[in-house]
Amino acid sequence: MATKSKYVYNANGVDFTIYKVEKPTKSGPKTYWLLEDFSTGTRRTLNNVSREAAERRADGIRAAMVKGQAHRLLLSNGQWQDVCIAVEILRSANMAESLGSATRSWVECVTILDGRATLRDAVKFFVGHNYGKGHQLKTIRFDEAAGLYHAFKVADGKSESHCGNIFSRLKRLGSKLPTGVLLDNLTAGQLENAVVSLGLSPKTRNEYKIVLGNLYAWAGKQNPPFVPKGFNPGKEMERCKVKHGEVEFLDVKALKLILSALPAKRSDLLPLVVMVCFAGLRPSEAVRVEWKEVGEDYIRLPGMKSKTGRSRQIPLQPNMKLWLSQWRKEEGFVCPHVSLEHVNVAIKRVSGVRLSHDTLRHAYGTHRQLIVKNIGAVAEEMGNSIAICRRHYVNAFCTEAEATEWFSLGPQQGDNIITLANHDLRNPPQTGDRTEKVATS
């Protein structure tokens, strides 16, 4: 059992109690010298290896008290390191404030905010609303900003379908937000709840978030700006994880049904279906193509009209040339007055063929790779990576005979679809020869 004795040590006028403790151990009794200290405001005992060490430690505490450094003993090593870092930050910022005054200011501001925003967000908001030199932030309602953004896109020469898509999405989203809400009063959480309430698929929700991010980026560039600099809740919204399943594609029989039904009931959609099924264009790209970009043997898709931002050249198949000869004009769009909204629903209504996302384009890739025997060439034509085309289209359940028939389908003649016969799909005939090599199926 340990035995304890104590004595008082006077360190230049300050008394410290030192305890001598002896504890029995297997190797014999051990002696410890415990210094009792109250300089931190609470009692603590400091272990020392000898009486002399305890007294030297008492002298050190007494000296620290005289210099006003006793409060240092209240901090752990990690806390003291934080204090030193904070002091260096103040020095590097050339601030006249001391660490104490800076801390007091921070506490006051955080208390006022009461968890509604971070201090940084509050400062950004203040700076955004007080640009100085008379340039004040212009407050605007969400629906007003959406209308101006749509008008900007139209004036910028974006396609009718692209502008219509922006208008439709922002209008739907606005119906789920509080009436008359200001653009700069919305948070990422409010916008996310509004998007989720529309009951959209994860992929479409991500597209809505992209539109919102672009809207706020545009609003911050106006003069005067509609939102504070750097304020963009659309960019802060969490992106949904999209599960990529196996692609679906049409067979020749289903395509014939569509091509037979559209001329009489939805002729406006026929050029779009042809451009996607026989040239591999994305619907959003097809509606942007103008006749000046359609040559005799190729469609030259400019980078500004391509999803990837890179131009590409798409060879015209013999049947594609025959289709285009029906509509060819000197200028204008190949697919005029076409809205991409509910296209698949419209096709199903008139033909009975159900289409999922990109079914028509996937059908092009599936059949095309059996004709050219080069997945790299297919990827270049479609504006996809080789890896995506290989994953989607190689080893698809489609035969070469079906692929040949796919690219033989021409315009309807009477009740039948014209089928081009006896031609080499790898070397399309010249324009002058195309009408001589057709037969009615």
* pLDDT at position 117 over 70: yes
The domain segmentation of the chain, as residue ranges, is 3-74, 77-116, 142-236, 252-440
Triad 145, 138, 222: Cα angle to 5°:
65
- What pLDDT shows up at residue 276? 95
In which band, very low, low, confident or very high, does the pLDDT at 13 lie, cut at 50, 70 and 90? confident
pLDDT digits (tens, 9 = 90+) for 383-401: 999 988 888 888 777 889 9
Q: How far apart are CA 66 and CA 127, in angstroms?
A: 46
Fold classified for 252-440: hpI Integrase; Chain A (1.10.443)
Q: Which residue has the higher pLDDT, 292 or 434?
A: 292
pTM for the whole thing?
Answer: 0.53
**Both structure tokens of 331:** 């200028």
Q: Do residues 429 and 317 make contact, with C-beta atoms less than 8 angstroms apart?
A: no
In which band, very low, low, confident or very high, does the pLDDT at 43 lie, cut at 50, 70 and 90? confident
Q: Which residue has the higher pLDDT, 293 or 244?
A: 293
- What pLDDT shows up at residue 353? 93
In which band, very low, low, confident or very high, does the pLDDT at 107 lie, cut at 50, 70 and 90? confident
Fold classified for 142-236: DNA polymerase; domain 1 (1.10.150)
Position of tokens 């230049």?
A: 12
- What pLDDT shows up at residue 171? 93
**Best CA proximity match to 279, nearest among 245, 320, 243:** 320
- What pLDDT shows up at residue 436? 35
**Best CA proximity match to 351, nearest among 251, 249, 250, 254:** 254
* Percent over 90 (pLDDT), the chain: 40
- What pLDDT shows up at residue 327? 92
Mean pLDDT of the 177-183 span:
91
Q: What counts of helices (H) and strands (E) characterise the chain?
A: 18, 9
Position of tokens 């290896």?
A: 49
Q: Is the dihedral of CA 300, 343, 392, 322 positive or negative?
A: negative
Alpha helices in 98-243, H assignment, sequence order: 99-113, 119-129, 142-155, 160-175, 188-196, 202-220, 233-236
Enumerate the β-bridge partners of residue 315. Answer: 298
- What pLDDT shows up at residue 14? 79
- What pLDDT shows up at residue 331? 92
